[in-house]
Amino acid sequence: MANENIKVNTAPAVEEDAVGSAEDIDAIMKKYDRESNTRYWEGKPKAVISYLLAAFAVLMIYMNLFANWDERVRRSLFVGIVIVLVFLVYPAKKGNTKVNHVPIYDLVLMVLGSGAYFYFVINFKEIISHATRISTLEVFVGVIGILVLMEACRRSVGVPILFVVTFFIGYAFWAGFDQGRSFMQILKSVVYNLFYTTGGVIGTPIGVCSTYIALFIMFGAFLEATGISEFFIQLANSIAGASTGGPAKVAVISSALCGMVSGSSVGNTVTTGSVTIPLMKKTGYKGEFAGAVEAAASTGGQIMPPIMGAAAFLMAEMVGVQYSEIAFRAIFPALLYFTGIFITVHLEAKRLGLKGISKEDLPKFFPLFIKQGYLLIPLIALVVMVMKGYTMSRSAVFATLLAILVSIPNKETRMNPKRFVAALETGGKNTLSVAVACGVAGIIAGVVTMTGLGQILISAIVGVAGDRVIIALFLTMLTCIVLGMGVPTTANYIIMATTCAPILVNGMGVNPIAANMFVFYFGIVADITPPVALAAYAGSAIAKSNPMKTAFNASRLAIAAFLVPYIFAMNPAMLFIDAGVLDVILIVVTSLVGLFGVAGGLGGYMVAEMNVIQRLMAVFGGIFMLIPGAVTDVIGVIVIVLCCVWQLASKKKKAMI
């Protein structure tokens, strides 16, 4: 694709240094993505670390397909190994430049932290035999295990989640003191529940991570090695590159496809944004808008079925339904999310008079699909196998084997021993941050269970909201955005499902799937919502634009993510729950028209430039269309039509003058 041949209409030329260079992008990843802040290894030490990570990936396959260990032993062993690798891969602070160096204090923490979990594995039968009567030594071991896990989380995930978990642990102690218990009694209770039972660190989050998520991450690493991301970008170019404002639409499509597999809003923003953001700026979009488009679309990849950044598997486990049902229910909300962004970038391009990329510089869809469409086989096979009832572990492993096979036709991606080990290494490394985040999320879930905090939260919000569901939804939304700041997708959802979803399900009677989708959406949009909008900040760094303006633009672009969850929470027909075919068709049509109105009103352009009154009309008309119901639909249609007629009349009047 020749960037220099892009046809530009009214857009000014963009200088080469107006976007981030390769070095800038690497710095961006290190700044906004904790997983990129790794130690520097060279020579034989680098090879040793690589083989250790690859061996970890192989061990995960063995544990899931062949081992028949007690679940508590398997999970504790998994966490212990993760801690060893985290301290070998991640330094204590950013900016570490020493080559082949691990400080003594890191080695000590690594041994103590992993040793705590290995101690539980070795003495498992003895520890469970005396139940809650754990010894002073076992309390000490548990404290070390929890604290070192939190330090591992700080290194590989970030600080925000630690503030949350510290608050919850502090609450557990406060609740104990409030009951008149001594410090040692509380400490023993907290350590026992959070370290030695499946209600804490080695609870459901780690259980799901060490099975479905870990194997899925490995599948993603092998799939990425086939070059599928480049295929997605080229495919998006062939579909939308030549249309009005083509590069921005390419960013939306490619980010949706790449993001559902990557599981990282920031990583996806940087990966696809390094290609799409320069094109958008060269076409004529402002940097704040270009960075926002990529950030909003990349964040939306996490809600894109069938994969949903691995959260679909977790949601199925938490709600207690089949994975296929979660993927099916998520289709329409995701469609609305991306359609909303698509409409906004189209209207912005029309307002600015921007054109797309010259067709001569773009790949043709059918030749491209015929030549490289086989890369989709592993992804399709994974979904089909899971939907047919195969276990997710076996499905992920089989799909990984298919990814190896489809790499063969391309010499550049063909899986030789070196690339095979590299893909295993990537899979093992990418599992680390998710694993420690899931372990910490398990602590939060454990505190909620052992203290009854969940019921207290339900009572508090229901007490404020009364029987008004909309107020409970609003308060829950604020909670999700705060708790979701800077937290990876999977751990993000676990925290939301543990603390916030029960408020809606048990307190307000919201459908369980709708409630879990609601909290998941608002946990995810924390990545583009100021003040901790990591994906938006990464996009702004590539576009060299104002970070806060980029974040606000991203929030505006993702307006569907702020509106649609309210709709399906109050009327789950949008999730195809208790809805007939005609109901679904009506919802699709009215929602799309509603999004057109909202996007036009917020952007200030539908069929012509809009004044303040017209913009307000469009927004309110669009919102009425999004609310299910015949009366609201009729009102919305009338308002939007009147708004369009008014704009056309104003446009005609100006033309005559």
> What b/e readout covers 419-455, taking b as 16+ CB neighbours within 10 angstroms?
bebbbbbbbbbbbbbbbbbbbbbbbbbbbbbbbebbe
Write down the residue that tokens 């049902």 correspond to: 325
Q: Which amino acid is at 77?
A: L
pLDDT tens by residue, 254-278: 888 887 766 678 878 888 888 889 8
Q: Which residues of the chain have pLDDT under 70?
A: 1-36, 95-97, 261-263, 309-310, 657
Q: How far is CA 104 from CA 107, 109, 148, 631, in A?
A: 5, 9, 15, 69
- What per-residue confidence (pLDDT) applies to 7? 38
Domain ranges (residues) in the chain: 26-209, 580-657
State the pLDDT at residue 503. 86
Per-residue pLDDT of 542-566, as tens digits, reads 888 888 999 999 988 888 888 889 8
AA identity, residue 249: K
Q: Tokens at residue 494, please? A: 């676990």
Question: pLDDT value at position 22?
Answer: 54
Cα-based distances in Å from 430 to 135, 152, 268 = 36, 14, 14
Contact 233, 294 (CB under 8 A): no
Give residue 383's region: left, alpha or beta (phi > 0; psi -120 to 50): alpha
